Amino acid sequence: MTEQLTQRQKMLTFGAVLLAMFLGALDQTIVSTALPRIVEDLHGLDRFTWVATSYLVASTALVPIYGKLADTYSRRTIEIVAVSVFLLGSALCGLAGEFGTLPLLGDGMTQLIIFRAIQGLGGAGLFAMAFIVIADLFPPAERGRYQGFVGAVFGTSSVLGPFLGGFLTDNGTGWIPGVAGWRLVFYVNLPLGALALWFILTQMPPLRPRAQPKPLDYFSMLLLIIGLGSLVIGLQLNKNEYGWTAPLTLGLLATAALMLLLFVRRSLRHPNPILAFSLFKNPVFRTANAALFLLGGAFLGLIIFEPLFMVNVLGETATSAGVSLIPLSMGVVTGSLLAGQMVSRYGHYKRWMLAGLVVLMGGLALLATMPPTVEYRQVLVYLLICGVGLGPSMPLYTLAIQNAVEPQFIGQATSASQFFRQIGGAIAASVLGVILSLGLSSVLPAAGPAGGVAPSAAAAQAAPVGEGPVVVPAGTPASPELKAAFSKAISQVYLVTLLLVAAGFVMTLFVPELPLRKTNEAGPPPVE
């Protein structure tokens, strides 16, 4: 016997998935400020970027798979698995190196890299399942105001993470006898995750898919994981050591192309593919995901390159550079919540998507034209404007896609939107890094066309805000020539980012605007 969800069930489930997603979002930023101490304790300076890269590879490759699993099995079961795997990875990361070098797992730094990948396997589900479960709970006409909270949670974690990571690292040693403070950066996930898990186990209904489960195509899963893993690693390799024409880089990119081609070919022939390519016949799905791919690098570009401008042009400290990103995050929170509320109240999601992109382009234009003498507070205002413009993109593209597809494809369609945003961001970060390197090549010989000092998305997450990646030797005052070169190069980065957003704006113009459904057709998936 089935029954409709009560409002109490909906809100408790909504709170649980938001808390779980908060853990994943927080983990992407909280680790960065702890890395210098981690590297010191585990003696892994040569591998520090892989702490973030391993997480990024696992979380990106698993996103489409979580979408398929959510369309096949109980949403609650998949959410429980995602949270449990994430908490297991968090506990293991906290234990990395505690018992010295271990068979198969290597030294402490290698252990941490492996355990971060386990975290990423769970983290992929925390993000994907949040949007999928919200789609089950609320019809599209109401969904905007609730999905707006997803952007708010992401923005809040972006502010809280670096400060909490720094506080625990600097002050947490001794809180638990014999445990270093940086380990608390991972252990802090455990009580919060346990609370989320308790709510999911006790309050969340099963939310089973309407269709009968079919056998999964595990070979396609393997092709997808290898293909996406090779692609992300190839993009994130340190280009100082492995340039774009290096055999390892070319080999990884070639492997990615081959595996993904085989994945597409098999998916077109398999009766139950991981991603139903028939979705690309849907004009909303096709155009909205193309826009998300183009826009994926906008947020990454800001959080990677703005601290470099603050430190190397304005001469600010790493702390001040980190603080400068608070207006960006607060703008994202404001824009996301406001757009969600406006769409739920008045409908017409497309106008709010376009309006947000206009604001974002205005903010990027201001950043692209900053002189080296710009004042610190002016930059904060520009970042706030960019954040407000970015905010609507968090919930509204996913809302448009969910509103346009059949309920049995909600999981795949939702995870696809997250995937295209992530992979677009990874590619854009690499391209923007090359542009920065070319701009600095005249004053930094190491920063040649191969992208020697290009910061990757993983390096930006791994390095402390404002301190990495290091392009000027520590303790070396930046000369006027170097400041001017940095200012010009970063302006070029923002100009290219502006062009990407403009292309996303044009693509958004082609997104058909469908009336927002007032029901989930037959209602939410049945509950026991």
Angle at 205 between CA 203 and CA 208, to 5 degrees: 160
* Residue 473 in this model has a pLDDT that exceeds 80: no
CA separation for the pair 502, 499 (Å, rounded): 5
Whether residue 249 sits in one domain with residue 182: no
CA separation for the pair 83, 19 (Å, rounded): 10
Q: What is the dihedral of CA 32, 37, 40, 41, to 10 degrees?
A: -110
CA separation for the pair 276, 102 (Å, rounded): 42
Q: How confident is the model at residue 297 (pLDDT cuts 50, 70, 90)?
A: confident
Lowest mean pLDDT among 226-230, 233-237, 378-382, 473-477: 473-477
| Structure-model confidence comparison of residues 468 and 85, the more confident one | 85
Residue 147 has a pLDDT of 86
As a whole number of Å, the CA-based R_g of the chain is 22
Which residues lie closer than 8 Å to 50 by C-beta, 6 or more apart? Answer: 113, 458, 462
Residue 214 lies in a domain: no
Residue 512 has a pLDDT of 94
Whether residue 291 sits in one domain with residue 265: no
* Residue 425 in this model has a pLDDT that exceeds 60: yes
Q: How confident is the model at residue 77 (pLDDT cuts 50, 70, 90)?
A: very high
Q: Tokens standing for 502?
A: 């403009």
Lowest mean pLDDT among 129-143, 157-171, 362-376, 382-396: 157-171
pTM (two decimals)? 0.86
11-40 average pLDDT score:
87
CA separation for the pair 242, 226 (Å, rounded): 20
From 243, 273, 303, the end of a domain falls on 273
Give CA separation, 526 vs 3, 115, 161, 520, in Å. Answer: 7, 36, 37, 12
From 257, 273, 289, the end of a domain falls on 273
CB 32 within 8 A of CB 446: no
Whether residue 158 sits in one domain with residue 293: no
Residue 103 lies in a domain: yes
Segments in 71-139 forming alpha helices (H): 75-95, 108-137
Which residues lie closer than 8 Å to 140 by C-beta, 6 or more apart? Answer: 399, 402, 403, 516, 517, 518
Angle at 425 between CA 93 and CA 61, to 5 degrees: 50
Whether residue 452 sits in one domain with residue 342: yes
Residue 464 has a pLDDT of 41
Residue 237 has a pLDDT of 80
Beta bridge partners of residue 176, listed in sequence order: 173
Beta bridge partners of residue 102, listed in sequence order: 106
* Per-residue pLDDT reduced to its tens digit, 194-225: 999 999 998 888 888 766 777 889 999 999 99
CB 457 within 8 A of CB 56: yes
* Residue 394 in this model has a pLDDT that exceeds 60: yes
Sequence-ordered strand ranges (E) for 236-340: none
101-118 average pLDDT score:
92
Give 125-182 as a 3 state SS string: HHHHHHHHHHHHHCCHHHHHHHHHHHHHHHHHHHHHHHHHHHHHHHHCECCECCCCHH
Q: How confident is the model at residue 167 (pLDDT cuts 50, 70, 90)?
A: confident
Residue 249 has a pLDDT of 92
Whether residue 20 sits in one domain with residue 145: yes
In which domain, by residue range, is 449 found? 281-522
Q: Is 354 helix (H, G, I), strand (E, B) or coil?
A: helix
* Residue 478 in this model has a pLDDT that exceeds 90: no
**Angle between the N-to-C axes of helices 410-440 and 108-137, in degrees from 0 to 180, rounded to the nearest 10:** 130
Whether residue 453 sits in one domain with residue 328: yes
Residue 43 lies in a domain: yes
* Residue 470 in this model has a pLDDT that exceeds 60: no
Residue 324 has a pLDDT of 85
Lowest mean pLDDT among 93-97, 344-348, 499-503: 344-348
Q: Tokens standing for 526?
A: 């049945």
Residue 210 lies in a domain: no
Residue 133 has a pLDDT of 92
Q: What is the dihedral of CA 165, 327, 59, 143, to 10 degrees?
A: 120
Whether residue 254 sits in one domain with residue 313: no
Per the structure, the count of domains in the chain is: 3
Residue 2 lies in a domain: no
| Structure-model confidence comparison of residues 522 and 263, the more confident one | 263
Cα–chain-centroid distance for residue 236? 15
Whether residue 313 sits in one domain with residue 256: no
Residue 423 lies in a domain: yes
Residue 6 has a pLDDT of 81
Which residues lie closer than 8 Å to 339 by C-beta, 6 or more apart? Answer: 144, 148, 352, 356, 391, 392, 395, 396
Closest CA to 116 of 182, 59, 45: 59
CATH label of the domain that carries residue 175: 1.20.1250.20
Whether residue 296 sits in one domain with residue 156: no
For CA atoms 371, 377, 379, 381, the dihedral sign is negative
Question: What are the percentages of helix, strand and coil residues in the chain, rounded to 5?
Answer: 75, 0, 25
Closest CA to 506 of 340, 362, 353: 353
Residue 144 lies in a domain: yes
From 202, 234, 263, the end of a domain falls on 202
Whether residue 73 sits in one domain with residue 123: yes
Is the omega angle on the peptide bond into residue 469 within 30 degrees of 0, that is, cis?
yes
Residue 458 has a pLDDT of 55
Whether residue 327 sits in one domain with residue 457: yes
CB 287 within 8 A of CB 416: no
Whether residue 327 sits in one domain with residue 230: no
Q: Determine the number of helices (DSSP H) and then strands (DSSP E) in the chain.
A: 19, 0
Most confident residue range from 336-350, 353-367, 425-439 = 353-367
If one counts every other C-beta atom within 10 angstroms of the C-beta of residue 174, the result is 10
| Structure-model confidence comparison of residues 446 and 394, the more confident one | 394
521-528 average pLDDT score:
45
Q: How confident is the model at residue 445 (pLDDT cuts 50, 70, 90)?
A: low
Residue 312 has a pLDDT of 85
